[in-house]
Structure 1
Amino acid sequence: MNKASRALIAWAAACVALPVVAQSASATPPQFGEYVALGDSWAADSTLNPGLVTDEFVPLGCAQSRGSYAKQVAAALAVPVLRDASCGGAQTVDMTGSQVAPRGVNPPQFDRLTPSTDLVTVLIGGNDAGLAAAVQACPTLDAGATPCLNSFVVNGVDRMSVNIEAAEPKVVVTIEGIRARAPHARILVLNYLKSVGTEGGCFPVVPISDGDAQWLGRKLIELNAMIARATAEAGAELVDTYGSSDGHDACKPAGVRWAEGLAPFTSDPVGPAVPFHPNQLGADHQARSVLAAVGR
């Protein structure tokens, strides 16, 4: 092979290699650089499974899951910085104040926000309204009893509806507080997926009467409507996990339901669970909903 042939081959090889180098240099950067997740146990996807609970971001008492939707979203988007402040039992007041958890103190959730935060998800309001606590009054051995209705509806006034309405300005202030601390962030507000429907329950599998299950289902719709109003008023984006969760409530079989009933056990994954909270399938649904909202 003469010198001219060798030069021609070298030139051709360089031309083939050049596009590869150029493609590497122009690789698409991450869509977001700093993601902060805020909220309560439904944001933490709280778990009692010792193999899933993590204290990477918060005290163990927050019961935050390794498989929470925020962690899935951060991984799918290859976000360089994730700070997940979500904690079981959190209320809007815990955005600006410390929350005492069973095994430590979770600093104010807003402390994780910075001016460079460009993605925020938040799921909050259920504990402010007291809906999660109300479920504890519903179990019964009598299929015709309605202990929840008897406790909350007095003289024609539904105190849970009053509580939900009172929580609305608190959720608005929370979203506005996020915007003040992270002015360039895209703020996604999640609602609560369908853990119970308005058509009734599945007594005695879940020991709540049809009357109380229907009431709980209506209150969940009211809660989500409040969150939608607050989100719109504060100028954020709503991620609707409820509307796309039909057929996956706590009465459905294992592998189909996205939220557990009263039994503190789940098959998704197998192990102890927090009653009336999303299981891993529910967390996966939340993650898919958020990713769809950002175009992934």
Structure 2
Amino acid sequence: MLRRNALAATLLGCLLWAPSAMTGATAAQPPAPRYHAYVALGDSFQADSAILPGITDAFVPLGCAQVSYDYPHQVAAALGVADFKDATCGGAVSGSMTGPQPVLGGINAPQFSRLGRGTDLVTVGIGGNDLDLVGMIGRCLALLPLPTVTCPHDPLAERIAAEQQVVAGVLAGIHQRAPRARVLLVNYLAVFPERGCWPYVPISGQDMPYLHRVLLSVDAMLARAAAADPKGTELADTYTPSLGHDVCQSPTVRWTEGLLPLSLNTPGIAVPFHPNHAGADGQAQAVLAQLRAGSPVR
């Protein structure tokens, strides 16, 4: 059990680079450009982290595992943004907004350092690493189709509720540094279905619904944080359009990878339980839809 969990933790934590291939939202007819300075902030779900190989024109260190087809790059291209800074980094926590983040190959500067008074668009996704969701997934992996003794079947209600205040602090920090910016808080994709699919994904039929409920609770918390922000942060909902594209789907359908990434539409290898190229495309489309539907930049 310990060796299996150690292997899972190694795979989940192994964040390297993937080469460029921009499709999806950028192939659609772009809306009229109106944003001039876009900054993307957040964790590996925003960087759409992948393992191996290749190095592109990185704005962040290699260890951030930020791929050039991540949804911020796609959104910036679709909008024709002239000044684009993608600060997203695998492993980022809320503290990475204001403090440096050591990673393989260097240090990612505090993500807020990319913001300025001229910034007029910000996307941010944060909270999963604060709650140790990756570690929780690793503890739920099972060699047998039985509930694991290490997967904590605790609703995490108190920790998730407390995280709302942390996310609110991140949003306040963005508004303080970029007072003109339209801010979108991006939630997490529907990674886990309501029912398990062991052994296709080695999480038992009892543990998979638990992970499904946890992620629902995290996304609900992010929605509350956006709704409560007095400065008008908008929620970019990637969860709803990703329903039916969870880890139990076939490699041509799923938007997030299982323990053994098999999707052929992702250059390199997507990090286990993270978005593949199709997931990045879906995220980009959801963000662009919110930009079209929501309030114009202030």
TM-score (structure 2 length as normaliser): 0.84
1:22 counterpart residue number: none
1:42 counterpart residue number: 45
Residue 84 (str. 1) matches residue 83 (str. 2): no
- More relative contact order, 1 or 2 (CA 8 Å, 6+ apart): 2
2:22 counterpart residue number: none
From the superposition, tell whether residues 293 and 54 of structure 1 become closer, same or farther in structure 2 (CA, over 3 Å): same
Counterpart amino acid of 1:163? R
Assess if the C-alpha contact under 8 Å between 2:50 and 2:268 holds in 1.
Answer: no
1:209 counterpart residue number: 204
Counterpart amino acid of 2:264? S
Matches within 5 A, 1:221-232: 221-232=216-227
1:134 counterpart residue number: 136
2:95 counterpart residue number: 93
2:162 counterpart residue number: 166
Assess if the C-alpha contact under 8 Å between 2:139 and 2:150 holds in 1.
Answer: yes
> Which SS does the other structure have where 1:266 is aligned?
coil
> Which SS does the other structure have where 1:292 is aligned?
helix
Counterpart amino acid of 2:109? P
Counterpart amino acid of 1:138? C
Specify which of 160, 169, 185 is matched with residue 181 of structure 2.
185
Deviation at 1:66, TM superposition (A): 0.8
Deviation at 1:147, TM superposition (A): 3.4
Give the whole-Å Cα distance in 1 for the aligned partners of 2:159 and 2:265: 32
2:59 counterpart residue number: 57
From the superposition, tell whether residues 107 and 212 of structure 1 become closer, same or farther in structure 2 (CA, over 3 Å): same
Structure 1 unaligned residues grouped into runs of 5+ = 1-27
Give the % identical residues.
50
- 1:44-67 per-residue CA deviation (whole Å, 9 max, x = no partner) reads 00011314x545210000000110
Give the whole-Å Cα distance in 1 for the aligned partners of 2:216 and 2:150: 16
RMSD across aligned positions (CA): 1.6
Specify which of 280, 285, 295 is matched with residue 283 of structure 1.
280
Give the whole-Å Cα distance in 2 for the aligned partners of 1:159 and 1:245: 23
Give the whole-Å Cα distance in 2 for the aligned partners of 1:89 and 1:270: 21
Would you say how many aligned residue pairs link Structure 1 and Structure 2?
A: 261
Deviation at 1:255, TM superposition (A): 1.2
Deviation at 1:93, TM superposition (A): 0.5
Structure number with higher helix proportion? 1
Matches within 5 A, 1:230-245: 230-234=225-229, 235-245=232-242
Counterpart amino acid of 2:53? P
- 1:201-237 per-residue CA deviation (whole Å, 9 max, x = no partner) reads 1100111001110000000000000111111112300
